[in-house]
Structure formats: C-alpha cells, structure tokens
Structure 1
Amino acid sequence: MEMEDRSLLEISLPSAGLKSVVLSPEQNSELAKALFFYQSSEYQKLFPKLKNQTNRQALLALFYGPPGTGKTITAQALAGELKKPLARVQIANVRNMWYGKSEKNLLECFTTARAKNLVLLFDEADSLISARHLGRGTSTDNVEHLLRNLFLQEIERFEGVVILTTNMLETLDPALERRLNLKLEFPLPQTRERERLWKKFLKNAPLAPDVNTLSLSQKFPLAGGHIKNAALNALRQLAFLRASEPSMPITQEMLEQAAKKEYSLLEFKNTAKTAGFIS
C-alpha cells in the first residue's frame, strides 16, 4: 500500500479488496448490499425519484464495535474494492484554536475528497458523531456543536463514500443516524473467525507440527488486532531464537505465550476502564 501524508488527510492507495478481510457472513452480506446500492445503475433506474430527491449518489457508513475488531482495515478494503484512494481524516489536526479555523479545515477535507474522488475515513470519530446536546455550554462545547453541524451539512451534500468508526454507539447523534446508509457492527470474532485470523496472520510462517490454531482460538477470545499482535510477537521471538538455532519453527507454546500476554493486557485495560482509570 503506497501512502502520502497530509496535515489534514492521510491518503493511501489500498491494494486489496474485501476478500482480504476476515468478516462474518452477515458483515459480508451487508457490505455487498451497500456497495450494490451505491454502484448499481439498476437501483437508480428502479428508484429515480429517490435519486432526484437527494441529487447525489453517496454511501455513508458507520462501523462500530470494540477496538481491534477490524473497523479500520475493513474501511481500507472497502476503498480497495472501489479502486479509490482512502483519505483518513486527522481529526486532531482538523481542530484549531483560532476562531473559524476548525470549520475551514473540515471543509478542506471534503473539498479535497471531491476533487480527488477519495473515500473519506473519519476514524474514532466519537467527537463528531456524538449527540449534540452533550456538554455544558462552554465556548469549547459551542465550537464542537458548530463543527458537528457543519459535518452534518457536508455529509448531506457529499457525493461519494464516507466511513465513520466508533467504539461508542450509545452516544450516536440521531441526526447523523438518520443519514446513514449502513450501520455495521464489528463484534468480537467467534471461534471459527478467530481461527481464520490466526491462519491468516501465520500464513507462510515456519510452524511446528504441534501448532493448533483451533485450540488458540478456543482458549483466547481475542479480537483480530490482538491476534495480529500475538502472531507478530511470536515471529519476533522466533527471529531472536533463530540467532542460535537457525532451523527453529514457531511452536504452539510460543503462540500461546504471545496470546496470553495479549489477553492479559486486554483484561487489564477492561478492568481499568471499569474502575474509571482510563476512558
């Protein structure tokens, strides 16, 4: 994947489509329907009045679920499926201390996306999509409300694909929810999906005969991002050990140790979040 950095947009050219992502049958079905409605000329023929009402052809999708469940990588794959560049909006850089600059930055993101035919990704977009009445009426809250209102106006006008991701569906602004074409949940993967993820991330790795990806999937209920981390950590350990034993493969024990560390870290974060130490 080639990439170029911008202060407001991180633009990449995804090379792989949706088949490269491990998704459930339900997720695949929902994405296929959304793409059909976005791309199909037959759909526009069947519903010409709908097209005339909105005067645009757009797909606004919300991907929601816990961290590490594949929201961002699916957004990349969706752009790859459409053979369009993906522009990841740097939300922290959109905000600016100077009056009116934040709104100008947000408008620039949409203007660039129109000019270059980009898929826009607002990753971890909680501040833009949460209910607008939240807050205490401070100047910061007022700026946030202005930014949210402008965001709603722009996605209403935008012809193209906008993808939003969040971990916090419960605060979703109803005004945004009404505009969504696709609202797709990314839950923690089930055992069989976890096994497919283990196999994907260990593909072409030198595995010992005792490696059992089904057992790993059953023992450790991890998200895809955590499985990837565990596989990479096992590969790093192998690289270190091969300095003295060049023919050593990855063993089940090495993978279980790496998975256990990921799971322990995940449990710690969940405990800390429940206790209020992290948000």
Structure 2
Amino acid sequence: MERVGAEIKELRYSIVDISQDLPRGVEGFVIAPVVIDDVNEHVVSFAAKILSLLMNGGYRKILFKDKEKLRWLFRLLSEYMKQLTIHIASEVKLLDSDFVVLALLRGKKLNAISVIVKSEVVDFDSDEENKGTAVIITDTKLSANDLERLLAKMQDVVDHYASRIGFYVPSIVAIDDVRVLLAGVEESDIIKVRIREDYGKPVVIRIPVQKPMWNLNDLPPKLREEFELLVVDPIRSKAMYAPRGMLIVGPPGVGKSVTAEALAHALSRKLVRLMPSSYRSMWYGMTEKTLFKIFGILKRREDIVILVDDADFLVQRMQAIHEAYIAEVNVWLNILQDQTRPFTVMTTNVPDIIDRALIRPGRLDVVVVMGFPDREMRRQIALRAIKRYGVSVKPEVVDEIVRISRWFNAAEVDALVRMAASKGRGRITSESLEWARRKFKVNESERRFIQENLQWYGERIPGLVVSYVPREHEI
C-alpha cells in the first residue's frame, strides 16, 4: 500500500460498500466518480451482455452507429455501476470463480471498478486458492501487455480505496481469466430497418452501404461520355429533368455492376445493393410491407445509389406463377414512380422477361445495352488488371492478351491475366498466357449470336437507349 502512484492520487473516486444490496453469500463494493443509487432500464439490458460474456466466452464486441451513443454508454455505466454490479452479483454463485472484478475503461482512463466476492472466500493471502475473473468493458483494443498493465493499475486503485472501508480482496494481478467486452463505432455504413413480421418477433434488416470501387474511367469511352451528358451532369446540377433510374442489359461478366458503381462514384455517392432476400417474407403481404418500409428509410439518404442486381425476378406479370410475384412487381412500380427516391439502377441478363412497365420514362428512364468488349476495351481491362495485381509483362505480351481474348467478357479477361500470372509466378509470358488460354472454353458462335440479339434489342426497345455493342470487326 506504500506504492500509490501520483496518477491514482489524482483520481477523484468514491467508494461505496454495496454488500447489503447484494444477494446472500456475496459481498462487494463500487469505486467510481459518482455512485447513483437508482435504476436505469438500459443498464438491465447491458447487464445481460455482461452475464453472457461471463457464462459463454472471453471476448465480445458490440457496435454503435455513432460516437455520441458510445459516449452515452460509458457515461451511463460509470454513473450506474452499482446497479450493473448488483445484476451481475445475482449470478456470481453460478460461476467457477471466487471473486469478480468489473472495470470500465474509456480510452486509457479507468472510469469505474467494482468487486464482487463470495462470502466463503476468507483466505485472501493465498492467491492460489482464490480464483478470480476480470471483466473489462473498453472502447480500445487491448494487447496482452495492455491487460497486464491494466490489472496492475486496477490492483493499485482497489488497494488504495478499499482499505478505507476495511475491505480487502484477493490479488487482481494474479487473475488469468480476463473477459473483454469491446464497445466501438461501426466502421462500415449500415442502414438498419426494424420490422415486425406477423406472428413473429421484431427483425432488424441490415443493408450495407458500400463505397464504389470503380469509376467512369473504367468504362468504354462511349459510355463514359453519354453517362456524363445524360446522367451525371443533370443530377449534379439538380436539374428537374434529371433521370431517376437506369436498366443495364447485358450477358454475365460484361461489367453491369461495375457500371453502376462507376456511376455512383461519378455522383460522389455510396452504393446500396438491395436483394430480394433482404425483404421477402414467408408471411402473406409482408414482402410488400417490408419493401415499402425499406424504401421509406432509403428515401432519407441523399448520398446513395440503389443497385438491384439481376432483376430478372421482376418478371412480366402475365408470366407470374403466383399472385405474390404480381404484388411484388406492383410495389416496385409504385416505388419507381416516386420521384423522391434515390437514383436506382437495375441489371438483367434476360431483358425480355422484365416487366415492360418498369422501364418506361419516369421509372427507369435510361436503358443501357452492354455487349462483349471490343479490342481497345479488352486492352484497357487487361492493363488495369496487370496494374492491380502487380504483374510483370512485356508490351508485346499485352498485345497477345488482346488478340487471344476475342469474345471474352470483362471478367474473363481479368481471370486470364490472373491465371497466366499464377502460372508464371508473378510474370506473364507467352507460354504462361497460352497455358491459361487453354483453360477457357469460349463458344464464339454462341457469343456472336448473343451480340446480335443485343444489337436487335437496342434498336427496338422504346425510350432512351445508350448502346455499347461492338460489331464483330471491332471485336
């Protein structure tokens, strides 16, 4: 007790013996700046998390949406440490521990400590016979060295203050069972939608908000120019005539999702991918309610672009096999008609089955038809892949990549570069490239037929159409 650092002397804690408030057979005390003798309902729910940590595991992480809520939590727990300790003490007898130490660590500052000891523990001088458990609630990741220093600091604080009330505890520094509850702020942006399904408990739907990984420079020059003219510039200038949605048509792997991300990047917005699994329900009518609820929340965000990938599930209503699908399409028609919603992009591989009412002006105003890339675009894709993967390659080999990737889609060109680099152990040579090319089975006549169908579709679909479908001599 002679060794009490200056830091501990400066701490202005109060110590309160709460043994009379604890269950029979348990004693304890609280050390905190303020000890409130009251009840808060939020502390009750948080105590359940601590008990779960004590019973089931050594580490748990809880995340808050913003720093203000995190500060609120630590302020609440610091003031209501007594109530939290009482809740935990009710279950201490079930633990294989003689005493429990609960610590609240905010940054590097020790905000509060409480100690719970079983009454039958009398031999405090024999550390080997007294098994302890420490629970650390912190907003900072702690290494093994950090924990060791923290336990020593907790020991000093407890010894200094507990001696005032004649209460001594076993050695805290000897504790080898340390449980950590890390409270932090969500690093990723997540939209949460709370719904209550019929005959079920409330459910929280979590929809991630992503930063775009691609930009307009990753698209063919023709698309880039038309997107800037028809979409980006009007939306940036907040023009009343700006389009509200887009349908991107094309075979798999040509870059439909990449195009949506590039548009979001050009608009300085984030991307929300909305999938049917996010809102569909087994309960009759619940799918439509959930979809309306989701868009009611998405409408509050002006910094997002909504992407509905593979929207082939929105089939024409005359082809629907169940009334639930018809109801879902009707909801989408109402949502897309709402001019206050965020810019919405849908993609499809089979546009013929999409309900035509979705792509009329005022809903999905722009239809983009994307085919297999031409020579120059394949060169651009290959060079970007080479740069991204840090691959060594000679200029003549790049020409060879472009030549042998005829009728490849964008994803296949990227895969060709990766496979050739793997074979060449970080270098692409003619031999490794030829080896990689033999792994791909591309039916040129089939893809030529797909390209011709896309040209036909682009010429006949009504409305505003932006087409990138190279002719065979360009491929």
TM-score normalized by structure 1?
0.76
What is the RMSD of the two structures over their aligned residues, measured on CA atoms? 2.7
How do 1:236-247 residues align onto structure 2 when only pairs under 5 Å count?
236-238=422-424, 241=425
Q: Which has the higher contact order (CA 8 A, sep 6+)?
A: 1
Q: Does 1:186 align with 2:370?
A: yes
CA shift digits 1:163-194 (9 cap, x unpaired):
00000111232211213221011110011211
Q: Tell whether the 8 Å contact from 1:17 to 1:80 is kept in structure 2 after alignment.
A: yes
Cα 1:206–1:39 shift into 2, 3 Å: closer
* Structure 1 outlier segments of 4+, above 4 Å: 2-8
What amino acid does structure 1 have at the position aligned with 2:394?
Answer: P
Residue pair 1:95, 1:101 contacting (<8 A) in 2 also: yes
Q: Give the counterpart of 2:432 among 254, 273, 276.
A: 254
User: 1:91-138, CA deviations, whole angstroms, 9 ceiling, x for partnerless residues?
Assistant: 23322211122112322331232122221100001112x3111134xx
Identify the range of structure 1 (112-121 vs 201-210) with the bigger mean alpha-carbon deviation: 201-210
TM superposition shift of 1:267: 4.2
Q: Secondary structure of 2:299's match? A: helix
Following TM superposition, by how much is the alpha carbon of 1:8 offset from its aligned partner in structure 2, in angstroms? 5.6
Is residue 411 of structure 2 the alignment partner of residue 225 of structure 1?
yes
> 1:210 Cα shift?
7.0
2:280 corresponds to: 95
2:225 aligned with 1:29:
yes
The one-letter amino acid of 2:299's match is R
1:167 corresponds to 2:349: yes
Aligned counterparts of 2:273 and 2:377: Cα–Cα separation in 1: 27
Contact 2:231–2:243 (CA under 8 A) maintained in structure 1: no
Q: Does 1:144 align with 2:325?
A: yes
Q: 1:146 to 1:13 in 2, by over 3 A?
A: same
Q: Deviations over 1:36-87 (max 9, x none)?
A: 233335x54xxxxxx6xxxxx6521011101110110111111111111110
Deviations 1:123-156 (A, max 9, x none): 001112x3111134xxxx2001101000110111
Residues in 2 aligned to 1:68 and 1:222: alpha-carbon distance in whole angstroms: 9
Of residues 62, 77, 82 in structure 1, which corresponds to 2:267? 82
Residue type matched to 2:232 in 1? L
Tell me, in whole angstroms, the C-alpha distance in 1 between the residues paired with 2:347 and 2:339: 18
Larger % of strand: which? 2
Q: 1:119 to 1:73 in 2, by over 3 A?
A: same
> Does the aligned pair in 2 maintain the 1:8–1:91 contact within 8 Å?
no
Equivalent-residue separation in structure 2 for 1:210 and 1:158 (angstroms): 49
Q: 8 Å contact 1:121–1:163 — kept in the other structure?
A: yes
Q: CA deviation at 1:236?
A: 3.4
2:211 corresponding residue in structure 1: 13
Asked if the contact 1:75/1:121 (under 8 Å) is kept, the reply is yes
Q: Kindly provide the amino acid, as one letter, of the partner of residue 365 in structure 2.
A: N
Seen in structure 2, the aligned counterparts of structure 1 residues 131 and 230 have a Cα distance that, compared at 3 Å, is: same
1:202 deviates by: 0.6
Task: Decide whether the 8 Å contact of 1:210 with 1:252 is kept in 2.
Answer: no
8 Å contact kept, 2:320–2:326: no
List alignment gaps of at least 5 residues for structure 2: 1-186, 192-204, 451-475
Structure 1: how far apart are the matches of 2:250 and 2:188? 26
SS at match of 2:357: helix
Asked if 1 retains the 8 angstrom alpha-carbon contact of 2:236 and 2:267, the reply is no
Give the distance between the partners of 2:433 and 2:289, measured in 1 at CA. Answer: 48
- Tell me which amino acid in the other structure corresponds to 1:202: I
Q: 1:105 to 1:253 in 2, by over 3 A?
A: farther
1:154 is aligned to 2:331? no
The one-letter amino acid of 1:249's match is: R
SS of 1:97 mapped into structure 2: coil
Q: What is the CA–CA distance in structure 2 between the aligned matches of 1:228 and 1:85, rounded to whole Å?
A: 25
* SS in structure 2 of the partner of residue 67 of structure 1: coil
Q: Distance in 2 between matches of 1:252 and 1:15?
A: 31
> Pick from 298, 310, 319: which aligns with 1:124?
310
The worse-fitting range, judged by mean Cα deviation, of 195-204 and 184-193 is 195-204
CA contact (8 A) 1:59 1:161 kept: yes
Residue identity matched to 2:283: W
Distance 1:131 1:225, change over 3 A: same
Matched, 1:177 2:359: yes
The SS at the match of 2:332 is helix
Larger Cα Rg: Structure 1 or Structure 2? 2
Checking the alignment, whether the CA contact within 8 Å between 1:211 and 1:252 is kept in structure 2 is no
Tell me the distance in 2 between the aligned counterparts of 1:4 and 1:163: 20
Provide TM-score, normalisation by structure 2: 0.46
Secondary structure of the residue aligned to 1:133 is: helix
Give the letter aligned to residue 419 of structure 2. Answer: N
- 2:258 — aligned with what? 73
CA distance in structure 2 between the aligned counterparts of 1:260 and 1:24, rounded to whole angstroms: 31
Higher helix share: 1
